[in-house]
Amino acid sequence: MVLKHYSCENTQNLKSSNNSTPEQQLVNNRYINTHNATCNVFLNNNSGNREWDCSYNTRSLNSNTTTPLLIYRQNIRGLRNKIDEIFILWSSYFPHVLCFTEHHLRNDEINCTYINSYNLGSKYCRVNRKYGGVSIFVHETLSFTTIDLSEFCNDQYIEICAVKSHFSSSNFSVLSVYRSPSGNFIDFLSSLDTILNQLYNSSLNIIICGDFNINCLENSNNMLQLDSLLASYNLQSVVDFPTRITNSSCTAIYNIFINKHINIDFSIKSCPDGLSDHDAQILTLNDIKIQKPSAQHLTRRIINDSTISEFQLNLSYESWVNIFNGDDVDTIFNNFLNTYLRIFYHTFPLKKCQNNYNNKPWKTPGIIIPSQHKTDLYLLCRSTKDSKLNNYYKKIL
């Protein structure tokens, strides 16, 4: 097993730091000398030659008018103060669907939660207990309908929400599921079976993004029961890599289930973003084509030093005879305004131009680079038992 680390090239930047504190120097030295160990932390504990790509390197957009469906799934362990950090992950374009578990918000809080360019598609918030909860956010370019599953929800046993969307060639539904490790597993399976039986039909493409708290890397009895139930609805697991890695364990308690007969061309990647102690997953469904939003064009007047000079010159050539020779104030004003506007519209005509507005002007290198280093430290800390390194990481959070 090989874990690829996308920020290993930053070691050169760490070497060039001269004014660092002893704690920072400790981190720099440790990072330079052992960053490769992060990429191979479980090399001796796992068999097989499967390559685990833990980078967040999404597929480049083609020049055509469609793009594959992208779904981001994360156990966020509290969404309230992590929205800006989520945006730093994405450079050129955003996933179409965001599935969160354990958002830790109440109904009134999540209804007021604003994620730029996204609409709250569906959610469930715990009624009698703290924390937990599930939610789905859908990109504003997609149309969707909310599927109300609140009648099936029960704190800890099963927390679930869903949205449904339709495109020219397919209908698909995304479900976000959370099961507490202390919840009754048989009750969970029974509720999930009832929900799927209600939703399922041959023309609907169901995608389940679940936090099941069952290690999918082990053939446990609970895992076999879950696989059997979902297989009866033509849903198969696609996560076969760890989703939670520490220096003492390696588990996959989160999974995504899809119909592989419908979604033939797909890919899934792990995204260790440091937002919680759980890694996110990015699912790309190439068989579902989403129409790219058309380029927005605006009509605006080109006003710059050159056109302003031309405007002033045109005004100086005007004789203003019909103004200075007038006697009625209203007539004089109307003549002046008509002349002025005629010259203005001629000098500054409306022109169509593409909207290049940057909706993330705050995303500067001064924010991006420290965020990348923070992720590097997170990956390094979970692969070592160095108390000083772990204390420094907690200090900068």
> Which DSSP string do the residues of 145-189 spell out, in sequence order?
EEE--GGG-BTTTBEEEEEEEEETTEEEEEEEEE--TTS-HHHHH
What global pTM score does this model have? 0.65
Task: Give me the residues of the chain with pLDDT under 70, please.
Answer: 1-64, 90-93, 168, 247, 293-298, 354-376, 378-383, 385, 390, 393-397
Backbone angles phi, psi at 159, to 5 degrees: -125, 120
- Is 267 found in the same domain as 317? no
Q: What is the CATH number of the domain that holds 161?
A: 3.60.10.10
Task: Give residue 117's pLDDT.
Answer: 83
Task: Give residue 148's pLDDT.
Answer: 95
Rounded (10°) CA dihedral 186, 191, 196, 198: 140
- Is 231 found in the same domain as 309? no
Residue 183 lies in a domain: yes
Task: Give residue 294's pLDDT.
Answer: 61
- Is 306 found in the same domain as 168? no
- Is 256 found in the same domain as 316? no
Domains held by the chain: number: 2
Final residue belonging to a domain, choices 292, 312, 341: 292
Task: Give residue 311's pLDDT.
Answer: 93
Task: Give residue 356's pLDDT.
Answer: 52
Task: Give residue 326's pLDDT.
Answer: 81
Which residue type sits at 235? L
- Is 144 found in the same domain as 162? yes
- Is 302 found in the same domain as 286? no
- Is 236 found in the same domain as 109? yes
Residue 132 lies in a domain: yes
Task: Give residue 65's pLDDT.
Answer: 78
- Is 232 found in the same domain as 303? no
Domain that holds residue 275: 65-292
Residue 12 lies in a domain: no
In angstroms, the CA 178 to CA 232 distance is: 20
Residue 378 lies in a domain: no
Task: Give residue 87's pLDDT.
Answer: 74
